A and B are shown apart, each in its own frame.
Chain A
């Protein structure tokens, strides 16, 4: 919403500068977005008159002019063909910054003749977008008149109107609030009714009172339409509106001055002698004033005459009944359209006119007739004519109900200490009616404040007018800080995961929660319920079932930029469904290993490093690592079938999947492989048992030396090493503290279809040194267990 300072001053008696006004607005809750002051850039320029001209001695196209200026007579070189004696034009002295040229004038000879200033075109002053020659101004302008005055250039304030305050969509409403803050005095402008000379010949019908509860109108006959006077054109132009003709300009003025949209019909073009507010009919169309044809829906409020729809109520009028310079009889409409319906019509049609904007927010229902009277007066003034009586059909919506208000509530809710009288005075200035003298008063909100529905709203009114700067700063009461911390176990785990992954060399990324549906489908997602109806882009239309694709694609983008080595992770949500319990928090990581080559020729095994990182993370999180199963071949379809596994406590307690990504999936994502990754569902990691204290179990250290024995087993090539190790370790859980594969061999000496696995078993004697016989017995049991697991001790 834009307005000029002089426009404001027609409602507010104030000596405040534009910046003081802007500051007062900001602090009263009218969020100023921009203050532009074109008079600033026009300030160097003033009116001058050319006295005589002579051909420039050294240039055919230049003239040397003697010019009367505010600085006396000046010799100025001018190249414009229209420079002639007697011309009243615009003068820029040396030192002036010419905005249209972007230069500051300096005194320098033009082809040998010094020019003591410049005569300007409209474009050079940026008062017109293009111009031909220097300005030709009316001769009655006195030399020295400032340009700002000539062009009525004025400071303009642009501010954001919050949806609760439709009354700020009129300058008068802004003035009321500013007067309450003390920046000026509100100029009351009572509206006197204009008596009608005859009954309105246009009948007003309402058949959809839910859409249009009240409709007032009158005919003004014998008007003479045409361009509106300069003051009105200037006022509209200053805020970026295009003057059309006097009748339309009056409706625009009313919209911006009083937040009262009106519509004018050329009465001669109305058919059937009536206008009707009704709901749209299936298949109905109409040609709007913007030249476009709109389909009318059955929920839209239509204004119709005998010919059918001639307008969308409160949104836009129709081409067929619009006023023109030829209009002699005008029918003026002042109605009240339901905000919700008007908003919906705006969304459905895409029309966001000034009227639609106002009706959707709710205009003052009690200003229907006064608005019409005021418009009548303006039309009579500008176009002449004779008005009919005002015809009103329907009933304006009632005011919001009055309610009880305890002025002390201001203090309770805000901490502000204001006298009761001060509280009530602010409310009165804002138009609230107060009755009763007790501790609790009764407050009736004005008709234009349909947003006010209870005492808390009044507290805001008082606080913002009194000034938020006066709010005290009061420390919060001490709250007991929870001794066990404020994070839930899941939150704490997410936090720990982040630190652990970063410490292990992964860079944390944060990626969109949505991705392309086809990609979601590659990773087991893409259900209908998780597809957005209005995605920001076609490739971000579905909630992610996994974080992996985003990380993989990120690695691909980095590679395309020339940085192919990537280790990324994200701790974030995945979406299994649209219910409140369908969201999971995962730690996902990928490695696209393209590390620098090593001088020692050794290579890191990226897959097993990643496995190590996953298990280090699980250990950090307190997962029961010793009981975890690695179910190879059981991982989802987006993994390499031979190089991936599920990490689980059991088939129904899957915690993570890891491995190498399936090359076909990478191909579909257009990312070069290999890429390794894991995705760990934090919610699936069992919570540690709650204990009464944080004491750790006692540490029992054996004074006896551990010893180790190596075994080499022959096992079928497809047998999992993990199963053998598990069998070995399970032989004696007291004595055997670790069993670990230290060699894997296939080749000469090992039969086809078999592999040799060498396992180092660490034995920790507990209460006495083991005898050779005891060690032999344990070894025999180990071999036995291994055999049961399908392994044979190598000879």
Chain B
């Protein structure tokens, strides 16, 4: 049986010496291939006598198994080495930058618009809209600004040129015409907010010729100023996301409300910035009041049957107060650095669950 052990040691030596998968395959074919040395031995077993087969069979089979195992092990080792070499060659420098990607953002005024709509939606308000280019009736007359009344002058109105009938359109100076449009087309009870662009012919650090307002209107049978006060207090607390918002109502005059009020919010103005919810200064934040009976009559609602309140506030200014933008004019300047700094993530959709932003 010397030839078997010689064969085994030769084969195992060849397996160990195979330096790559191809050489190993050659060894496998030479031993276990169709014409391989072990295959020949296995084939030779058929011609053996039963006794001889009983004696040599296990030896040959053992040889085959050991060689097979050696080949498999060698193959695994060679494959691992090959993979390692391949991986080492595939190394890249991951400190190189990723392809550039622009960071998008939502404008703070629009973010605040979404916040306001969210807050008022939870209080049962629907959202109404109207056109920016208005007529005199919707912007003034229906709102109890008599023609040529000095109150109109306070509005610094943008006008278009008169048409052939002498009527001149204007850019709405407030979102209140939406009140009128809503009341003309809808029967009470009414509970709406109307956000949008408004326009005044005025420009300095705190005034821009265009800005945003949101208007609120509630009309029902028994709505009084107490409801107005609660609505605004609740809204401001939610908007500023603090329990410490303190407000006060001050009498004021607006042609379209009676009684009329302005609401101030308590704030701290020391150190050049305004902090709402602390300090002992007051900051005017919005105008409001009970809808004037003349307005209700103009839109065909009987003031003896229905009454209600309206309020309007500047959205850009409200955004500045909460988020600290120092200059109103920057809101409309489209400076990409500003938009990036003061803008909001696309995914920061205001909602009650996570807070407003």
Contacts and interface: CB of A to CB of B under 8 A. Distances in A.
Contact of B336 (A412, A414, A566, A583): A566
Contacts of A481: 121-122, 124
Contacts of A464: 251, 259
B259 A460 contact: yes
B183 interface: no
A535 to B, nearest CB: 7
B161 A486 contact: no
Given A164-B253, A165-B253, A474 B227 contact: yes
Interface stretch (A245-253, A505-513, A652-660): A505-513
Contacts of A485: 121
Contacts of A479: 123-124, 189, 191
A23 to B, nearest CB: 11
Given A486-B117, A501-B104, A534-B201, A509 B339 contact: yes
A445 to B, nearest CB: 14
A508 B199 CA distance: 21
A480 B160 CA distance: 42
A609 B123 CA distance: 41
Contacts of B345: 502
A384 interface: no
Interface string A513-556: 11000000000000011111111110010010000001100100
A480 B258 CA distance: 28
A131 interface: no
B102 interface: yes
B227 A456 contact: no
A478 B123 CA distance: 8
A499 B210 contact: no
B90 interface: no
Given A474-B230, A510-B332, A29 B252 contact: yes
A512 B249 contact: no
Given A27-B251, A413-B307, A571-B110, A507 B123 contact: no
A568 B106 CA distance: 10
Contact of B159 (A416, A454, A533, A583): A533
Interface stretch (B8-16, B24-32, B147-155, B271-279): B147-155
A533 B133 CA distance: 13
Contacts of B230: 473-476
Nearest to A572: B197
A31 B209 CA distance: 25
Interface stretch (B41-49, B58-66, B79-87, B92-100): B92-100
Contact of A415 (B220, B225, B293): B225
Interface string B311-329: 0000000000000000000
B210 A513 contact: yes
A413 B259 contact: yes
A174 interface: no
B269 interface: no
Given A513-B199, A513-B210, A534-B158, A598 B100 contact: yes
Interface string B117-160: 10001111111011111100000000000011111011000111
B150 A360 contact: yes
A120 to B, nearest CB: 32
Interface string B197-218: 1010111000001100000001
Query: Most A CB atoms within 10 A — which of B127, B294, B336, B347?
Result: B336
B280 to A, nearest CB: 13
Contacts of A503: 104, 346-347
Contacts of B335: 557-558, 561
Nearest to B260: A460
B180 to A, nearest CB: 12
Interface stretch (A216-224, A393-401, A487-495): A487-495
Contacts of A554: 334
Interface stretch (A133-141, A283-291, A574-582): A574-582
B297 to A, nearest CB: 10
Contacts of B189: 479
A596 interface: yes
A231 interface: no
B174 interface: no
B101 interface: yes
B114 to A, nearest CB: 7
B154 A532 contact: no
Nearest to A463: B259
Contacts of B51: none
A387 B169 CA distance: 54
B114 A476 contact: no
B209 A512 contact: yes
B126 A595 contact: no
B103 interface: yes
B226 interface: yes
Contacts of B147: 340
A343 B233 CA distance: 38
Q: Which 10 A-B pairs have the closest CB atoms?
A: A479-B124, A29-B251, A415-B226, A460-B259, A502-B346, A474-B226, A554-B334, A505-B102, A162-B253, A464-B251
Interface of B: 96-97, 99-107, 109-110, 114, 117, 121-127, 129-134, 147-151, 153-154, 158-161, 163, 168-169, 171, 189, 191, 197, 199, 201-203, 209-210, 218, 220, 222-227, 229-231, 233-234, 248-253, 255, 258-262, 290, 292-294, 303, 307, 331-337, 339-340, 343-347, 349
17 contacts: A360-B150, A361-B150, A457-B258, A471-B229, A476-B123, A498-B106, A504-B104, A505-B101, A505-B104, A507-B343, A531-B161, A532-B171, A551-B334, A563-B336, A568-B336, A600-B99, A602-B99
Given A343-B153, A361-B150, 13 more contacts: A27-B250, A162-B253, A164-B151, A413-B307, A468-B261, A510-B334, A513-B210, A531-B161, A540-B209, A578-B133, A582-B133, A583-B131, A600-B99
